[in-house]
Amino acid sequence: MSERRPAKSKYTLDRGIPGAFEGETVTRRRMMVLAANVTGGIAIGGVALSATGFALGQPFVEVDTGWHDVGAEDEIPDDTYVPRVITLDPKTGQVGKTTVYVRKHNDRVDTEGPQDQYSRYVAISSRCMHMGCPARYVQAAQHFICPCHGGVYDFVGKVAGGPPVRPLDRFYTRVVNGRVEVGRRYSVNSELKRFSPRPPGQALDGVGQYLFPSRPTMRKLPGT
């Protein structure tokens, strides 16, 4: 009478992989760990790609480094702004244009920020420092208003209400042969101190200036 061999349990662990079911080459636990690792890798890759694109892509958005004529000195008042459109990137058509609000330096209101050869005229960017919508100077209110989320800036571009995190950016200005020219953009903190240009949404007061350092490609600005 032949000896009967005990039947193998389907849960037997004699296949060389601890915890494996019969016929499996990879345990469910291993499969789950592998899936978690792949998912984590994809998530980290996505974040890294976004950060790299943010760091490298921005210099290509604003490529202008020159000076733009915005009118004769006697065309620019000191008690209100005149809008001027300048081209930051000629290759991108209308997208490369931006509106700048220009006025003459006024001792009565321009008491903060550097007083030097670049501040004889004030040129304020229309790009809102919350999320970048176009803000507009409203003469009746003597404030800049952003229609997107209710951002309000006072006459010198400081935040007066709403979500923007810093004053409106400015541009260097100079006078050449009686003509006012607007140069490169710079950012300011709430005391109108100059900083190299930052994107919207980055505060520059307190630790903000260290949390959001400027890009190396944009550091060579006078007075920053």
Q: How far is C-alpha 197 from the chain's CA centre?
A: 9
160 binds ligand FES (CB under 6 A): no
Q: Which stretch binds ligand FES (CB under 6 A): 60-68, 81-89, 118-126, 128-136?
A: 128-136
Rule CB under 6 A: is residue 201 a binding residue for ligand FES?
no
Would you count residue 97 as binding ligand FES (CB under 6 A)? no
Burial (CB < 10 A; 0-12, 13-18, 19+), residue 210, is: exposed
- Does 148 engage in binding with ligand FES (CB under 6 A)? yes
The Cα–Cα gap between 85 and 131 comes to 20
| 131 scored as a contact of ligand FES (CB under 6 A) | yes
Is residue 146 a contact residue for ligand FES (CB under 6 A)? yes
Nearer to ligand FES, 165 or 218 (CB): 165
Closer CB to ligand FES, residue 98 or residue 173? 98
Inter-residue contact 162 to 152 (CB < 8 Å): yes
CB of 186 to ligand FES, least distance (A): 19
Two structure tokens written together for 55: 């760091």
Q: Which of 133, 160, 175, 203 binds ligand FES (CB under 6 A)?
A: 133
Q: How many residues bind ligand FES (CB under 6 A)?
A: 12
Of residues 131 and 175, the one with the C-beta less far from ligand FES: 131
> According to the binding rule CB under 6 A, does residue 159 interact with ligand FES?
no
- For 43-61, letters b (16+ CB in 10 Å) and e give eeeeeeeeeeeeeeeeeee
Helices (H), ranges, the chain: 28-61, 208-211
Nearest-angstrom CA–CA distance, 10 and 25: 14
